[in-house]
Structure 1
Amino acid sequence: MLDTPSTSAPEKLSLSEDDISNHSSSWNIEHSPFASVIGTNHVPSTAELKSLKELLVHPQLELSRLEKEIDRFQTILSGLLSEKRQVVAYIKAHRALASPVRQIPPETLAEIFIQCLPTEPSYPLRDLNEAPLLFTTICRHWRSVALITPRLWNSLHLFFPSQWSRDACSRRIAGATLWLQRSGSLPLSISLHGSTIPVVNYWPAPERDSPILQRRIESMFRSLMSFSDRFRDIFLSLSSSSFSIFDKLSPAVFPALATLRVRDIDVSGRYDKAYNQPSGVAAGDVAAFAPLLSRMPFLKKLEVNLIFVRDQNYSSLPCNWRNLTNLVISDFLPSVGVVAILAETPQIQSISFSISFGDDDANLDSAVVHLNDLTEMRLQVEHSTHYMEKEVLDRFFQTHVTSLIKHIQCPSLRLLSFTADWAYITVSKWPFTGLPLHNLEILHLSMPLNPDALTECLSQTPNLARFQLKTRSPEFPLHDSHLHSLTLSPNNPDPSWPRLQTILIFAHPRERDLAYGLVLSFTTTAVTTFLQSRYQTTPLKSCDLMFNAKPEPFFSDAELDTLRNLKRNEMKIRLVHYHVQLPPHSSRTYHDPPDAGISGKSVGDELKEHSADIENRFSAAVTIL
């Protein structure tokens, strides 16, 4: 609250020469003869005003003198700072000549550049912010080294937008030609992608098959065919008409081609199982890539994605099946079709199939396919049957998986990935008893596995190094009994999975179950004891348990201290109670960035990333570590 002006006459304040002299030496307000009224609402009298004027004469002169001194020193300081900048610039200019990076031999610098090339996707982009074009913008020396390093230029991704001007096409042809010419005589990896914008969602519709666009795509293909004798790896994501153009311009033989990946962008992914072809796709277009296979006698790796062959008769394609070592087919084949293909590929080392269980599985004969070189098997299964009760569906699943597995003998299997994300089912029995799993090192499962089936899994995969389970069951499959089995202790001197390095269990119940959360069946004590025992005796490096449970697990302070200590000793531990947040829907527009096509993702793809990226994509309500 402000002081009110005094109504009584204040004590008269007067100044002597000594007062002024003494005060000027300190400039301390507390020593002022007016100290008692400074900061108050006191109203000075006429005599006091006169005294104030006399008091401030000397301070004002001193202030003027100080300001002049400051200006003088400021001028000196500015001059010194200017000289300093000149000296610093002189030193930097000469130190740059002695910079260690200048001493790097060109061949070593080139190897560093090569290590900076992208790995996922593995095709470099036409982007000045990405390697290798980035290296051409730094300095003259780096540019010259980059331009004469063929390994920087033997791989390229090219995108064909649905709206492509003549000038843009000409520039892209010239740029791609110059790019590949820099690769010298090295084998080439090429990614060619057309626009994947769904026609039904946009107006005006993309001119994907317009005569003008097709002529420009043909010009691009014709320029690329001058390098066709060096094609080693081709990824074609094209429309049916573009596949036909590519085939028309292709040479009789691609002598160096070892890897082919194909995808028909006309296929929306909607699949009519009754007719074994995608809805809305003409029957004559579903195998537009087939003629190319006859031009590739040395093909080793084949990936067929969103291209549906009439009647799923893949074995009739003009492919040298016996030469294949890697095969991926995303069409949902019946079991009998999978076995028929595998019977034609005796040298196969890695397979990935999407399979539809149905009545055709009854046609499997008693023949067994022996794949002695097969080390990696990835299977995704669906079923084309009507609604079944849980128990009936479980028996159906067990019967069909067992029937398929018993027809495949693969003694060298090291990796098994199996996806069966079926609604209203919890797998009650371990379905892979017929597979030789003693040497299995990596197991990725995405299916609702119950605790008993997980117990069988522990006993049948003794040499597992990495285990990953994703489940949508409302019951968390990991129990204390499993953790005790994995824990080294006096009562358990030979724990399961002694070579285990990584364990990841991600439980994401279906939407109808999210409100209730998971039913957790493990204790924090069992988790902590398991991790502590494995750190002391085995090479466990990473443990991830992610779940949406009610109530949330409570770790004691002592358990948290133990876990934090393990993490400080470089064990990666993430125990997360999470909520998944889907990205907001964003409308697409016509675009032509360097990574278009190869990096385009749907909302479904984003959800898969939420499931896969355990560090960056989750909104965690509680993160233990």
Structure 2
Amino acid sequence: MSESANPLSSWKTEHSPFASVIGTNHVPSTVELKSLRAHLVHPQFELSRLETEIDRVQTVLGDLLSKKQQIGNYIEAHRALASPVRQIPPETLAEIFVQCLPTEPLYPSRNLNEAPLIFTMICRQWRNVAITTPRLWNSLHLFLPSQLSEEACSRRIAGATMWLHRSGSLPLSISFHGSAILPHSWMPMADISDSESQAMSQANMDSMIRSLMPFSDRFRDVFLSLSAQSFTRFNKLSPSLFPSLVSLRVRDEDIQFGAIWSWDIPAFSPLLSRMPLLKTLEINEVLVPDKKFHLLPCNWRNITNIAIKDSLAPVKVIAILAETPWIQSISFLIALGDDIASTVVHLKDLVEMRLSVFSSQQMGDEALDRFFETQVTSLTNCIQCFALRALDFSSDWPRLTISKWPFSQLQLHALETLNLAMPLAPNALTECLSQTPNLISFQFKTAMWPKFPLRDSHLSSLTFSLNNPNPMWPRLQNIRVLDQIYALDQSIPPSATTSAKSLTTFLESRSQNTSLKTCDILYHAEPNPSFSEAELSILQNLKQNGLKLRLHVQVKPSDPAFPDSPDMGIQPPRHSGMAGHIGAAALI
């Protein structure tokens, strides 16, 4: 019988003589079972034939796939020879490698997955280029934990020595951190005794310091984060002079971990007298007697950049600045108190100023405002500078409202960057605008004070229009307003906030008339401005045309006290970079 004549050729169950009972609970009789077995002889034969054919075809297919893989590998192997990356000259490849070095943190570490070590693991050519490129190896971060074994310390020293030798004769940037955690505080007691662990830790520190000293004549930038005892060892084992060192950053690991020791002078102090070319000095978490930093034995007249992260009275700040006539950049944490600065310092080269102020004074709101104004104004009145390009000022005092612009005596005509984190009253902010005509970048963080947000009147003064053809800040390129507060108090009128219309008009006029590049606005809470469809369309077009625009509103979680979600505990909560701790919803 031909296949076409066979009613079972389609192998469909509805063509089966048993179709009426297939899929039911029918129990076949003896006669039906016999007929069923006879009926399945041909299908089983056909199934066996197909399985044999499939095995044959799979064998053929496997052979074909294997040949395809071989030919593909053959082609790719030859194509690799013609790969464009092979045509890159070694000096160009070396420059690419250098551009891959980390910038934050500044110092490369001994991480096999990061530059420069990763380039030594790709192929022989890349390894040779990397190893023979000194600029890849003239910066290094070293960490020496107190519990490190002698053998592990020896390996670390060998690796660091090899790394620095590859730098050739280039100046070196070194970050050396030693842990101040006592070994016995967490090592198993049976492993080692306290006295042995202390001796081993000190021996390791001495060995590491000695291994660095052959390169000390090339030290250009050094960051030392050590305990007072380790600083003492560093002083003892270091040479009498660091002839090339221009930048020093120090931090006391003891203070960082809560151990405070009494010293007549800071443990790092003797190092300063050995650095004749020192220009940049940053002191972080270091105790100085009576906070007389200006008495440290360095060549202060050479210092051009200084950052001291310790609470200093204004008179202490002026005492330092009086010793640094060529200073270009300053950063101070200022504690306002009873002392009022009076000595005037002339800093003709000062281009960058970072000040953060706080006070522990207990007083009423108005008295606190007057106190702040008197103290800060007295300090800024003592600083005579005409070339200031960047000003960063922050004050996180509760209840304080700054009613008067505190920098009225500073010469800010050349200022290009202004970062403020303080609650300015509207008239103070207006004065700020008028005193900084050449501003390019502006960041304003109102820091959770709901009474005085950025207002329409401020944006209007910055907006090009027929009535205002010459607005303030004509060179403005970047504006960033964070924690913009919209108070829940409905008694505050809409005129005390920034409307959607004024913001849209400002951005549109700036995009048409100036080179505004970025705008970040973070509204803190409801009610936030309501944008119309037309305004949203304008803002979207501005964004599509190249304006880097982000408008967000902070939102609180629905149940902040009892967060609950399917993935809670698996991953940490994710927040927008603009949103602080409570998240944000994007408006644009």
Q: Classify the TM-score, shorter chain.
A: 0.7 to 0.9
Match of 2:460 in 1: 484
Q: 2:78 aligns with which of 91, 94, 99?
A: 94
Cα displacement (A) at 1:225: 0.8
Residues in 2 aligned to 1:515 and 1:36: alpha-carbon distance in whole angstroms: 78
Match of 1:169 in 2: 153
Match of 2:560 in 1: none
Cα displacement (A) at 1:159: 1.0
Kindly indicate whether residue 411 of structure 2 is the aligned counterpart of residue 442 of structure 1: no
Q: Flag the 1:269–1:487 CA change in 2: closer, same or farther, 3 A.
A: farther
The 5 Å alignment of 1:487-498 reads 487-498=463-474
Cα displacement (A) at 1:185: 0.8
- Name the Cα RMSD after superposition: 3.3
Kindly indicate whether residue 283 of structure 2 is the aligned counterpart of residue 283 of structure 1: no
Residues in 2 aligned to 1:443 and 1:208: alpha-carbon distance in whole angstroms: 54
User: Could you list the per-position Cα deviations for residues 291-332 of structure 1 after superposition, in whole angstroms to 9, with x for gaps in the alignment?
Assistant: 111101111111111112211222222111111111111122
TM-score w.r.t. the length of structure 2 is 0.88
Residues in 2 aligned to 1:200 and 1:95: alpha-carbon distance in whole angstroms: 59
Residues in 2 aligned to 1:553 and 1:495: alpha-carbon distance in whole angstroms: 24
Cα displacement (A) at 1:30: 5.6
Aligned partner of residue 481 in structure 1, secondary structure? helix
Residues in 1 aligned to 2:504 and 2:180: alpha-carbon distance in whole angstroms: 48
Q: Flag the 1:288–1:208 CA change in 2: closer, same or farther, 3 A.
A: farther
Kindly indicate whether residue 385 of structure 2 is the aligned counterpart of residue 410 of structure 1: yes
Q: Is the 8 A contact 1:260 1:301 kept in 2?
A: yes
Q: Is the 8 A contact 2:181 2:257 kept in 1?
A: no
**Greater displacement, 425-434 / 448-457:** 448-457
Match of 1:381 in 2: 357
Q: 1:180 aligns with which of 148, 154, 164?
A: 164
Q: Is the 8 A contact 1:476 1:507 kept in 2?
A: no
The 5 Å alignment of 1:241-256 reads 241-256=229-244
Match of 2:53 in 1: 69
Counterpart AA for 1:353: F
The 5 Å alignment of 1:137-156 reads 137-156=121-140
Counterpart AA for 1:300: K
Match of 1:431 in 2: 406
Cα displacement (A) at 1:447: 1.3
Q: 1:322 aligns with which of 301, 316, 323?
A: 301
**Greater displacement, 90-99 / 293-302:** 90-99
Cα displacement (A) at 1:208: 12
The 5 Å alignment of 1:181-220 reads 181-195=165-179, 197=181, 210-220=198-208
Match of 2:214 in 1: 226
Q: Flag the 1:269–1:542 CA change in 2: closer, same or farther, 3 A.
A: farther
Cα displacement (A) at 1:186: 0.8
Q: Is the 8 A contact 2:455 2:497 kept in 1?
A: yes
Kindly indicate whether residue 491 of structure 2 is the aligned counterpart of residue 506 of structure 1: no
Residues in 1 aligned to 2:452 and 2:84: alpha-carbon distance in whole angstroms: 55
Cα displacement (A) at 1:392: 0.6
Structure 2: segments with no counterpart, 5+ residues: 558-571
Q: Is the 8 A contact 1:269 1:306 kept in 2?
A: no
Residues in 1 aligned to 2:280 and 2:196: alpha-carbon distance in whole angstroms: 29
Q: Flag the 1:372–1:568 CA change in 2: closer, same or farther, 3 A.
A: same
Kindly indicate whether residue 538 of structure 2 is the aligned counterpart of residue 562 of structure 1: yes
Counterpart AA for 2:527: P
Structure 1: segments with no counterpart, 5+ residues: 1-16, 271-278, 582-605
Match of 2:449 in 1: 473
User: Could you list the per-position Cα deviations for residues 251-270 of structure 1 after superposition, in whole angstroms to 9, with x for gaps in the alignment?
Assistant: 22111111111111122498
Q: Flag the 1:44–1:249 CA change in 2: closer, same or farther, 3 A.
A: closer
Q: Is the 8 A contact 1:209 1:241 kept in 2?
A: no
Q: Flag the 1:208–1:255 CA change in 2: closer, same or farther, 3 A.
A: farther
Match of 2:561 in 1: none
Aligned partner of residue 168 in structure 1, secondary structure? helix
Q: Flag the 1:610–1:476 CA change in 2: closer, same or farther, 3 A.
A: farther
Q: Flag the 1:199–1:434 CA change in 2: closer, same or farther, 3 A.
A: farther
Cα displacement (A) at 1:25: 4.7
Match of 1:614 in 2: 578
Q: 1:460 aligns with which of 419, 435, 460?
A: 435
Counterpart AA for 1:292: L
Q: Flag the 1:238–1:316 CA change in 2: closer, same or farther, 3 A.
A: same
Residues in 1 aligned to 2:118 and 2:364: alpha-carbon distance in whole angstroms: 59
Structure number with the bigger relative contact order (C-alpha 8 A, sep ≥ 6) is: 1
Q: Is the 8 A contact 1:162 1:208 kept in 2?
A: no
The 5 Å alignment of 1:35-54 reads none
Residues in 2 aligned to 1:180 and 1:337: alpha-carbon distance in whole angstroms: 40
Kindly indicate whether residue 542 of structure 2 is the aligned counterpart of residue 542 of structure 1: no
Q: 2:369 aligns with which of 374, 394, 404?
A: 394
Counterpart AA for 1:252: S
Residues in 1 aligned to 2:532 and 2:35: alpha-carbon distance in whole angstroms: 74
Kindly indicate whether residue 338 of structure 2 is the aligned counterpart of residue 356 of structure 1: no
Q: Flag the 1:207–1:397 CA change in 2: closer, same or farther, 3 A.
A: farther
The 5 Å alignment of 1:235-246 reads 235-246=223-234
User: Could you list the per-position Cα deviations for residues 490-517 of structure 1 after superposition, in whole angstroms to 9, with x for gaps in the alignment?
Assistant: 23222222211111111188xxx9999x
How many residues are aligned here?
565
Q: Flag the 1:59–1:280 CA change in 2: closer, same or farther, 3 A.
A: closer
Match of 2:563 in 1: none
Q: Flag the 1:306–1:28 CA change in 2: closer, same or farther, 3 A.
A: same
Aligned partner of residue 21 in structure 1, secondary structure? coil
Identity among equivalent positions (%) equals 60
Aligned partner of residue 574 in structure 1, secondary structure? strand
User: Could you list the per-position Cα deviations for residues 546-599 of structure 1 after superposition, in whole angstroms to 9, with x for gaps in the alignment?
Assistant: 233123443333333332222222222222222589xxxxxxxxxxxxxxxxxx
Cα displacement (A) at 1:184: 0.9
Cα displacement (A) at 1:22: 4.9
Q: Is the 8 A contact 2:454 2:484 kept in 1?
A: no
Residues in 1 aligned to 2:185 and 2:500: alpha-carbon distance in whole angstroms: 50
Cα displacement (A) at 1:476: 5.5
**Greater displacement, 445-454 / 221-230:** 445-454
Residues in 2 aligned to 1:433 and 1:368: alpha-carbon distance in whole angstroms: 16
Q: Is the 8 A contact 2:3 2:9 kept in 1?
A: no
Counterpart AA for 2:279: K
Aligned partner of residue 221 in structure 2, secondary structure? strand
Aligned partner of residue 192 in structure 1, secondary structure? strand
Q: Flag the 1:33–1:565 CA change in 2: closer, same or farther, 3 A.
A: farther
**Greater displacement, 156-165 / 525-534:** 525-534
